[in-house]
A and B are shown apart, each in its own frame.
Chain A
């Protein structure tokens, strides 16, 4: 069965610290996609990144970076030099592939609340 685990319920850091949010997933499929979304205090969900199971290259976008390791079924998210505006709940999600156009269900983790203190 599909499952996404975000074991860190809450993390608190001081501004400018680096922080890594963990995401571990379970799936039977060899083809799947992984996502990260950000939910700031205002409540909306903001898409951050999508990664497919065939692409294990790490990705960097400004202060954000993602480390995908199939060997450990992990897709971790690191924020470098954190800022107060990074304070939010971050969700990791998994989408399995069941053939072209079949399903596109996102399975979400329970989220990690990141609090960045000034």
Chain B
């Protein structure tokens, strides 16, 4: 079984709808992240969480919110979806390393289309 899972894997929705993307991990990592990938732009950080009570905005948080329900679960919500939020969304996890940074491991991605 995959260590990091995302549901749904594909979603088509309409403008104005609320949608939630879910991420679960069995790696036992404390840190979780949400990124979006757009063609030609690479990946950009939306939100990150270092533990259940620590949630931080990333580079492009406007229009998104998150919830860290448990150490293993991190959800991303689009309160009112708009077409330019059409993208591939990735969840990632990492564990505090002995050094000052740690390696992030990514889920399989959720392809979201907003019509």
A and B are interacting partners = yes
Interface residues on B, range: 20 to 34
Bound state CA distance, A38 and B90, in angstroms?
14
User: How many chain A residues touch the partner (CB < 8 A)?
Assistant: 28
B64 at interface (Cβ–Cβ under 8 A)?
no
> B104 near A106 (CB under 8 angstroms)?
yes
7 smallest beta-carbon distances between A and B, as pairs = A108-B42, A45-B106, A97-B100, A108-B43, A110-B42, A44-B108, A33-B101
Q: Choose one: A31, A50, A109; the contact of B42 (CB below 8 Å).
A: A109
> A43 near B101 (CB under 8 angstroms)?
no
Residue of B with least CB distance to A91: B42
B48 at interface (Cβ–Cβ under 8 A)?
yes
Bound state CA distance, A44 and B31, in angstroms?
19
Q: Choose one: A4, A35, A101; the contact of B103 (CB below 8 Å).
A: A35
> A104 near B94 (CB under 8 angstroms)?
yes
Given the contacts A45-B90, A95-B101, A99-B100, A105 and B106 also touching, CB distance less than 8 Å: no
B41 at interface (Cβ–Cβ under 8 A)?
yes
Bound state CA distance, A50 and B97, in angstroms?
12
Residues of A near any B CB (own CB < 8 A) = 4, 31, 33, 35, 37, 42-47, 50, 52, 91, 93, 95, 97, 99-102, 104-106, 108-111
Task: Taking A101-B100, A110-B42 as given, write out 12 further A-B residue pairs in contact, using a Cβ cutoff of 8 Å, ordered by the A residue number.
Answer: A4-B42, A35-B103, A42-B108, A44-B108, A45-B90, A91-B42, A97-B101, A101-B50, A104-B101, A105-B45, A105-B59, A108-B42
A35 neighbours in B (Cβ, 8 Å): 103
B102 neighbours in A (Cβ, 8 Å): 104
A52 neighbours in B (Cβ, 8 Å): 99, 101
> A31 near B100 (CB under 8 angstroms)?
yes
Given the contacts A31-B100, A43-B109, A45-B106, A108 and B48 also touching, CB distance less than 8 Å: no
